[in-house]
């Protein structure tokens, strides 16, 4: 049976100009050539509709308005709910996730957080009880690869102080139940001693190692 790789990009730049998307594409091409049982679905967060969450469409934590309450909503709010359900379904249907994003202000672009808040839905991605919140993504083997390009290069020891995006995604997806998490850091893109070309060359080596590790 075919498996699905969901490729999520958080960058308005055309691929040729974006370092994270250049490495993302390279990863996808290499991954698919090694894993022909995969189909790729792409989600460009800058061109696709990602609803803004508000208190009208969410009745409580991670719970969308439904049933008779849903029917009373405006067409716009219904559209938001339908789209959030669709995004959540798309996320659940994948086996492998690749996120390509730049480092912005030692973190990641806010559109990516907007997306994450849309897909973490109660009884689909998490289960909330009065005692605890548990992740539901351990229902099958799933893996996540986070690709980040950054202007600077951060020493391993200080990495946690700067790589908040990477830390966040590793923490949250492990919590949700995704067992395998890998990262590709394209570092020093804007520094004179590394620069874009060298950073890309190094990241291409990392791609091969990670694909090997995942297979
Ligand atoms: C709004 C903004 C914030 C940024 N913040 C950081 C930062 O905190 N640390 C860093 O090393 N680089 C930072 N950069 C530089 C980018 O991470 C770097 O140029 C990266 O390679 C861009 O990737 P892209 O070509 O895929 O957009 C920032 C760039 C922008 C536009």
Q: What is the mean pLDDT of the chain?
A: 97
How far does the centroid of ligand 1 lie from the alpha carbon of residue 102, in Å? 6
How far does the centroid of ligand 1 lie from the alpha carbon of residue 176, in Å? 28
Does residue 18 line the site of ligand 1, with CB under 6 A? yes
- Domain of 88 in residue numbering reads as 3-214
Of 121, 102, 122, 126, the closest CA to residue 112 belongs to 102
Residue 85 has pLDDT above 90, yes or no: yes
Does residue 163 line the site of ligand 1, with CB under 6 A? no
Q: Which atom of ligand 1 is nearest to the CA of 103?
A: 17
Q: Is the C-alpha dihedral spanning 66, 48, 175, 29 positive or negative?
A: positive
pLDDT of residue 36: 96
How far does the centroid of ligand 1 lie from the alpha carbon of residue 5, in Å? 26
How far does the centroid of ligand 1 lie from the alpha carbon of residue 190, in Å? 8
Alpha-carbon span 213 to 215, nearest angstrom: 6
Instruction: Indicate the burial class of 155 (C-beta count within 10 angstroms; 0-12, 13-18, 19 or more).
Output: exposed
pTM higher than the cut 0.75 = yes
Alpha-carbon span 125 to 115, nearest angstrom: 13
In a mutational test of the pocket of ligand 1, which residue from 9, 12, 151 has the highest number of ligand atoms less than 8 Å from its CB?
Answer: 151
What's the domain count of the chain? 1
Does residue 152 line the site of ligand 1, with CB under 6 A? yes
pLDDT of residue 160: 84
pLDDT digits 0-9 by tens, 154-192: 988 888 888 999 999 999 999 999 999 999 999 999 999
**65 touches 71 (CB < 8 A):** no
pLDDT of residue 45: 98
CA 199 to chain centre: 22
Eight-state DSSP code of residue 120: -
CATH number at residue 40: 3.40.50.360
Q: Which atom of ligand 1 is nearest to the CA of 196?
A: 21
């Amino acid at each position: 049976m075919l498996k699905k790789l969901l490729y999520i990009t958080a960058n308005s730049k055309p691929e040729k100009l974006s370092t994270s998307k250049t490495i993302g594409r390279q990863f996808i091409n290499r991954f698919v050539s090694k894993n022909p049982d995969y189909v790729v679905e792409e989600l460009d967060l800058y061109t696709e509709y990602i609803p803004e969450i508000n208190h009208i469409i969410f009745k409580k934590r991670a719970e969308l308005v439904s049933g008779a309450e849903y029917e009373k909503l405006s067409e716009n709010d219904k559209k938001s709910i339908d789209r959030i359900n669709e995004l959540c379904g798309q996320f659940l249907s994948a086996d492998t996730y690749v996120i390509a994003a730049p480092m912005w202000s030692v973190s990641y672009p806010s559109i990516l957080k907007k997306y994450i808040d849309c897909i973490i839905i109660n009884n689909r991605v998490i289960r909330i009880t009065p005692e605890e919140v548990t992740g539901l993504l351990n229902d099958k083997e799933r893996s996540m690869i986070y690709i980040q390009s950054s202007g600077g290069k951060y020493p391993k020891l200080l990495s946690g102080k700067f790589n908040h995006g990477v830390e966040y995604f590793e923490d949250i997806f492990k919590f949700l139940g995704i067992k395998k998490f890998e990262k590709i850091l394209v570092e020093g893109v804007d520094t004179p001693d590394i620069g874009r070309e060298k950073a890309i060359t190094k990241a291409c080596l990392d791609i091969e190692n990670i694909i090997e590790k995942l297979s």
